[in-house]
A and B are shown apart, each in its own frame.
Chain A
Amino acid sequence: MSDTTGKTMTQDSPEAGLWGLAAQFDSTAGIYAAATKTREAGYEWFDCHVPFPVHGLDKAMGVKHTILPVLVFFAGLTGLCVAIFLQVFTNSLQVNLWALVEVVGYQFDVSGKPLISTPAFVPVAFELTVLFSAVSCVGLMLFLNKLPCLYHPILKSPKMKRITDDRFVLVIESKDPKFTRATAEKFMQSLNPERIVELEH
């Protein structure tokens, strides 16, 4: 796995089957500098594959802030409303709310205490707010990341196995408007990587 610096592993192959080019680095400083330069060079369809989140790399790449927290806030709000509705409806109402399924509330009269006792409804309201937020937080994170994705050119390449171990890889996709094989490879050589790998579809 230790190729001399900057040597390409690629043969002359048609650009048609090419999904992208990957430059491999062995340090966080290397990938950070490379990501900064790639962004400055005007590439848009590029990504860094790293074994752990490198501090500041997302900013260097120009990744926009995710909308996730806003969505999670509304999920939490939904949980709160569901909890209040559930408790008020099931413990105090005596009407049949749903037309198709016959559901009526059940009134427990405990020592004449109010049916809608707000303080007693707080714990469940809190728990459901947290539950809805947490489940949607994880679900939306995966959804926005387009995961699960069990097939991907990066997962396919046996040369990319170390991106979850100790190597840092910058990938420029062939669909980038500025991408041509020759220019991209020349650009990558200038980044001084450990090696450059071709990725097929």
Chain B
Amino acid sequence: MTTLPIDHPIDELSDDPRERPPLVLNHHDFGSVTAEILRANEAKRPPKAWYIAFVISFLMMSMLGVLVGYLVVTGVGVWGNNSPAMWGFPIVNFVFWVGIGHAGTLISAILFLFRQKWRTSINRFAEAMTIFAVICAGLFPGIHIGRVWLAYWLFPIPNQMDMWPQFRSPLLWDVFAVGTYFTVSLLFWYVGMIPDLATLRDRATNKVQAIAYGIVAVGWRGSMRHWHRYERAYLLLAALATPLVLSVHSVVSFDFAVAQLPGWHTTIFPPYFVAGAIFSGFAMVLTLAIPARELWGLENFITKRHIENMCKIVLLTGSMVGYAYGMEFFIAWYSGEIYESFAFINRAFGQYAWAYWIMVSCNVICPQLFWFKAIRRNVWVIFIITLFVNLGMWFERFVITVTSLANDFLPSSWGWFEPTWVDVGTFVGSFGLFMTLFLLFIRFLPILAISEIKGVMPEADPHAHHGEDHA
């Protein structure tokens, strides 16, 4: 294959299809890459902003603990859930957090299979974010069951009552889907991290670090015979995780779609939920990456090009979500079903119209700004847009869950859902849990996939001779 000649230095933001923009800026040897990425981990103290963020997150997490304790000793009556709106904040929050948890494995698995090398700079903390988001997600159904101490009934464990879970229920599929997703994401994250943990071990300056990182690095010594199996295992995990990512939110959508309620009982739900999950996940990756990149000084690895690529994915999935909103309306009208039509008219113009229009403005209109290059290249504008997307995606789940439950078939059984302070506090507290875990992660674990980043540098190619382009 011939390469067209280029007579100017390649710019990271270049749109010229003849050139491949660099994934790592200002580095031409591997040692400086290691040092720069681990600078924050190896610094004696993290920056002041880290401490401030950690204290706030920790306080929010403590509030979550207190409120969950209050819930357990009092009962679910402390929430706004009522009949007919049996599913209030806990399920909205569950779907919201699981959705956010989708970007990590998408980046790790699907972009890996598509050989998208730019993923290497963002996959590690996107995976970490996935795991923390799934932890937050798992909390809500767990406390929503009422008698929390009986949560083990969710699992098929032989017991003295000869009772088994009902395998034809989507709620049980959820237990398996989310459980598998968490386990596989955790394995993926950990396996990817082993070589970098070995790097931290070998660079440790004190005994505690050397022992702690030494144990978690399982004695990794970079043997090529090990790498051979490792790469194969990583590829297999990516191949396994790809259908898994798509299945998890599909199964979550079955919780709704298998029910008979108008507004829920639609076949568009699985693809629509998956697109929404990837949309919200990428928005959250950007929300976290932009400040972390600034704070940790990672501009050479998470380049503007990386940010721009993620914006494009947000734009694409945001448009898919917008299309799904439109198509839902069309099918509701086209079906000629009065309850279905009513459900959608009611969403847009009924008592929860405010929530619906927040959702539409944040999810459909906001990301369309990413059509403009100037906006895709202004990190702080992106940051603000992603905050709106996060907000909008939470409202999407609120609209789906609450409007359909509150106003279903018979007007005599309609109701009204209003959250209590405990609902709001628990949701805010879940951000505390998420952020606390994330802040601990960026302080103590390798925030970027160091060995993978080295592997995509031009210097890594053993056959690249002087001036010859093998890329």
Residues of A within 8 A of B (CB): 27-29, 31-32, 35, 47-58, 61, 63, 66, 68-69, 72, 86-87, 90-91, 101-106, 108, 110, 113, 117, 120-121, 123-124, 126-128, 130-131, 133-135, 137-138, 140-142, 144-145, 147-152, 154-155, 160-166
Of the candidates A32, A61, A90, A140, the one having the most CB atoms from chain B within 10 angstroms of its own CB is: A90
> Does the CB pair A50–B180 fall under 8 Å?
no
- Identify B168's interface contact among A110, A164, A166, CB under 8 A: A110
Taking the complex as formed, is B8 at the interface, i.e. its CB lies under 8 A from any CB of chain A?
no
Residue of B nearest to A79 (CB): B180
What residues on B are CB-neighbors of A58 within 8 Å? 224-225, 227-228
> Does the CB pair B229–A91 fall under 8 Å?
no
> Does the CB pair A53–B227 fall under 8 Å?
yes
What residues on B are CB-neighbors of A87 within 8 Å? 167
Given contact pairs A90-B167, A149-B219, A124 touches B228 in the complex (Cβ within 8 A): no
What residues on A are CB-neighbors of B170 within 8 Å? 123
> Does the CB pair A124–B176 fall under 8 Å?
yes
- Identify B203's interface contact among A27, A48, A165, CB under 8 A: A165
> Does the CB pair B219–A135 fall under 8 Å?
no
> Does the CB pair B236–A133 fall under 8 Å?
yes
* Nearest Cβ on chain A to B335's Cβ, whole angstroms: 23
> Does the CB pair A52–B228 fall under 8 Å?
no
What residues on A are CB-neighbors of B164 within 8 Å? 90-91, 105-106
A contacts with B: majority SS: helix
Q: How far does the alpha carbon of A25 sit from the alpha carbon of B168 in the complex, in Å? A: 60
Interface size class of B (residues with CB under 8 A): 35 or more
> Does the CB pair B459–A28 fall under 8 Å?
yes
What residues on B are CB-neighbors of A150 within 8 Å? 214-215, 218-219
Residue of A nearest to B165 (CB): A90
Number of A-B contacts (CB under 8 A): 219
> Does the CB pair B203–A144 fall under 8 Å?
no
Closest 10 A/B residue pairs (Cβ)? A166-B30, A166-B31, A148-B218, A141-B233, A32-B462, A90-B164, A149-B219, A28-B462, A120-B168, A123-B173
Residues of B within 8 A of A (CB): 29-31, 33-34, 156, 158, 162-168, 170, 172-173, 176-177, 179-180, 183-184, 187-188, 190-191, 195, 198-199, 201-203, 214-215, 218-233, 236-237, 240-241, 243-244, 247, 251, 254, 451-452, 454-455, 459-465
* Nearest Cβ on chain B to A192's Cβ, whole angstroms: 15
* Nearest Cβ on chain B to A137's Cβ, whole angstroms: 5
> Does the CB pair A51–B230 fall under 8 Å?
no
- Identify A63's interface contact among B166, B187, B224, B244, CB under 8 A: B224
> Does the CB pair B226–A147 fall under 8 Å?
yes
- Identify A165's interface contact among B34, B237, B240, B254, CB under 8 A: B34
Q: How far does the alpha carbon of A151 sit from the alpha carbon of B214 in the complex, in Å? A: 10
What residues on A are CB-neighbors of B214 within 8 Å? 150
What residues on B are CB-neighbors of A90 within 8 Å? 156, 164-165, 167
> Does the CB pair B460–A137 fall under 8 Å?
no
* Nearest Cβ on chain A to B394's Cβ, whole angstroms: 26
> Does the CB pair B167–A47 fall under 8 Å?
no
Given contact pairs A106-B162, A113-B168, A148-B219, A123 touches B183 in the complex (Cβ within 8 A): no
What residues on A are CB-neighbors of B183 within 8 Å? 131, 134-135
- Identify B237's interface contact among A106, A138, A148, A152, CB under 8 A: A138
